[in-house]
Chains A and B, each alone.
Chain A
Amino acid sequence: LAKTTQPISMDSYEGQEVNITCSHNNIATNDYITWYQQFPSQGPRFIIQGYKTKVTNEVASLFIPADRKSSTLSLPRVSLSDTAVYYCLVGDGLGRDDKIIFGKGTRLHILP
């Protein structure tokens, strides 16, 4: 399993774009990059997943450079409700790993 490193915490203001970067220097060829969001007192929720370049959905965008050693989760125009912990995970796209391991995540605090 590739280890991931992300900032422990970040602050931003409502209406701003927030970018959270995750480092995964040992990512393997078959690994996908997945981001989860967790609100207080709730279980994590899948946000977005990608393999390379850029992926966008209604919630966020995920940017992955060509070397795939890092990825950036981009949240456009955040609101107070985006205050949460965001987890970056790297996993084998062929499903050869049986477990899903979370790191400590990035605690994002949105200020008014």
Chain B
Amino acid sequence: DAGITQSPRHKVTETGTPVTLRCHQTENHRYMYWYRQDPGHGLRLIHYSYGVKDTDKGEVSDGYSVSRSKTEDFLLTLESATSSQTSVYFCAISVSVGNTEAFFGQGTRLTVV
């Protein structure tokens, strides 16, 4: 399995608090992604990174920010958590985008109460 670790695996937080999720890889892959998955919506891309300090928005980026100061770490921050951000969050990595596979982490289950 690809070396990709998400932390924490589970978190419960209160509305209005900031939350940071971490994705760590040991594969030295260029691309990293954050997705959220909710019933009936499949996987939706939040933000992605195509290199250190190079990030861009995905399909559902409002209320989220990201940072990538090192190749191996991609952080997702919920600036002020809301109940609508209760979800399962997946991180993924890939060497490139076109004809190579992406590897996914085990997910973080976030509950905002």
Can you name 22 A-B pairs with beta carbons within 8 Å? A32-B99, A34-B101, A43-B92, A43-B105, A43-B107, A44-B102, A92-B97, A92-B98, A93-B98, A93-B99, A95-B96, A95-B98, A98-B56, A98-B97, A99-B58, A99-B97, A100-B45, A100-B48, A102-B35, A102-B43, A103-B42, A104-B40
Say which residue of B35, B48, B102 sits within 8 Å of A98 (CB atoms): B48
**How many of chain A's residues touch chain B, expressed as a range?**
20 to 34
Judged by DSSP, the binding face of B is strand
Instruction: Evaluate whether A42 and B97 lie within 8 angstroms (CB atoms) in the complex, with A101-B59, A103-B42 already known.
Output: no
In the assembled complex, how far is the CB of residue B57 from the closest CB belonging to chain A, in whole angstroms? 9
Instruction: Evaluate whether A100 and B92 lie within 8 angstroms (CB atoms) in the complex, with A43-B104, A105-B42 already known.
Output: yes
Residues of A within 8 A of B50 (CB): 98
Given contacts A99-B33, A99-B97, A103-B42, 15 further A-B contacts (CB under 8 A): A43-B105, A43-B106, A44-B90, A46-B101, A92-B97, A98-B48, A98-B56, A99-B48, A99-B58, A100-B33, A101-B59, A102-B35, A102-B42, A102-B45, A105-B42
Say which residue of A44, A91, A99 sits within 8 Å of B99 (CB atoms): A91
Whether the Cβ atoms of A44 and B48 lie closer than 8 Å is no
Q: Say yes or no: is A30 at the interface (Cβ < 8 Å to chain B).
A: yes
